[in-house]
Structure 1
């Protein structure tokens, strides 16, 4: 078909999707950009495939913590899908879901929540109550509630999502592992440690089995389990896992990613608990630098680390 054909663009896009799912973001980006350019050249700016490419590129930027780049592309994709497909289409629901996820990452919970609710209602209406996209959106909305300490609202959504995901996809699927992790996170926030720990361990084992040892989701599960151990005062176990998560995140995501900053912050807090203040101060400084540059000075994560650093210095 030659280099300039819609099917070539589709193949470029699909290969990029695979790389994104594997956490190979640097390899995915140029393919997404090529696919988008080729689709615009061949199909024009107003075509559903162009909207799909915009959506996929925005999702990639979100995973890379490039939020200021992701937001306008998500908004453009949503507007184009509504224009071309109408308000009631699964692709519109997908864009609403993804935009909710972006705002959730940024701590913009009041903006995220209505998009997630709209996406959930639309997926249920168009695809039925038993569909993987419904389960994913239940997860997304539950996380938004969890981060706002709306635990009684989050828990039934996560339990429903877990049951639905297992029913539709089987017990051994990354979405099952993710839901187990999210439910454990909720229990951890509530101090329900004995319920959280086995779920974290199940999620970690499943992610390793399905995705391999070197995947960003594995790093997230290591970090979360370490967080639980720290809350329980199991410092030596927590430190080992925090260090593993940090090393894996740096390897996979680079030194400037938001998740690397989270690892710095968590390890710093652990060292504070142990009275290792000089080590903690350095880690807080590194976390604050990344958060300020990635999320801005007023983001909740930035503010929290800044206060932790100030409190530490006041104590010293």
Structure 2
């Protein structure tokens, strides 16, 4: 499961190397120049101008220039509100990006409020089964999960569980029980059970997912490896170290066969294997 740093809270201190890179600085500078040129030639509200502004926001965030990213994102939201409406799909996407920036700035309460507002709007306008609505539920679930795990807060883990249950229900309705996306949703739910200390429930759920994933997707599939890794974590939490090691090694072998030795998935799995061995 994703960590807080990789989801909504990747702070500026974690990217000092990228910020100091001349090529990254040039990218931001080049994009700033492109935005100004497009504003003059096409107008600030032109879709091409806005697309370039969005690229500049990403560049600012990558460089750790979060205040500038916030200001520009607010500008984009204002334009989209005026031109498209408060609940338009593109407006809501922009508001979600602002929530991510707030989280990166450590403004958790503001980030949570925006994410909840976006989820409510998407439910009303797009419906429970729209992919954007499901994405909102999943991102909030991840956010609560990370905060609950980091601060050891049962309330946040319970909120995360509720949202993951909704995501699983929606994905099962859309894709069926035997789909890769449904397997991933089930794995996320099993991970929450593990963090809540409900290890027997977690193991029962995840064992079934691993077997289904092997049958439907095959052994040489990254989603199968992801499900096996979660089962390894559950075994580790149960202090079944040898079982955890065997499962983690199996996941590593799948990653090596599918994405290669040097892929981040492989390297992260190998790091987890070392942690299991040292426990």
* Shared fold (TM-score, shorter chain, > 0.5): yes
Q: Which of 159, 177, 184 is the aligned partner of 2:225?
A: 177
User: Cα gap change, 1:77/1:150 in structure 2, threshold over 3 Å: closer, same or farther?
Assistant: same
Is 2:137 the partner of 1:79?
Answer: no
CA distance in 2, matches of 1:88, 1:139: 20
Partners of 1:161 and 1:36 in 2: CA distance: 42
Match of 1:135 in 2: 183
Gap runs ≥5 in structure 2: 1-37, 149-155
Q: 2:172 aligns with which of 124, 148, 169?
A: 124
> Does the Cα contact within 8 Å between 2:229 and 2:251 map onto a contact in 1?
yes
Tell me whether 1:203 sits opposite 2:239 in the alignment. Answer: no
SS in structure 2 of the partner of residue 191 of structure 1: coil
RMSD: 4.2
| 1:133 CA drift (Å) | 2.9
Do 1:90 and 1:122's aligned partners in 2 also have CA atoms closer than 8 Å? no
- Per the normalisation by structure 2, the TM-score is 0.61
Is contact 1:101–1:112 with CA below 8 Å preserved after alignment?
Answer: yes
- Residue 164 of structure 2 is aligned to residue 113 of structure 1: no
Q: What is the TM-score of this pair, normalised by structure 1?
A: 0.55
Residue-by-residue CA offset, 1:271-315 (whole Å, 9 max, x unaligned):
xxxxxxxxxxxxxxxxxxxxxxxxxxxxxxxxxxxxxxxxxxxxx
* Paired positions, count: 225
Contact 1:89–1:126 (Cα < 8 Å) also in 2? no
Shift, 1:113, TM fit = 1.5
* Compared CA separation, residues 76 and 201, structure 1 to 2 (3 A): same
C-alpha displacement of 1:230? 1.5
For the 8 Å contact 1:6–1:39, the answer to whether it is kept is no
Contact 2:210–2:227, Cα closer than 8 Å, also in 1: yes
1:144 to 1:46, Cα distance in 2 relative to 1, 3 A = same
Which of 57, 62, 65 pairs up with 1:26?
A: 62
Q: Contact 1:90–1:126 (CA<8 Å) still a contact in 2?
A: no
Gap regions ≥5 residues in structure 1: 20-24, 232-316
8 A Cα contact 1:197 1:228, kept in partner: yes
Is 2:57–2:73's contact at 8 Å kept on the other side of the alignment? no
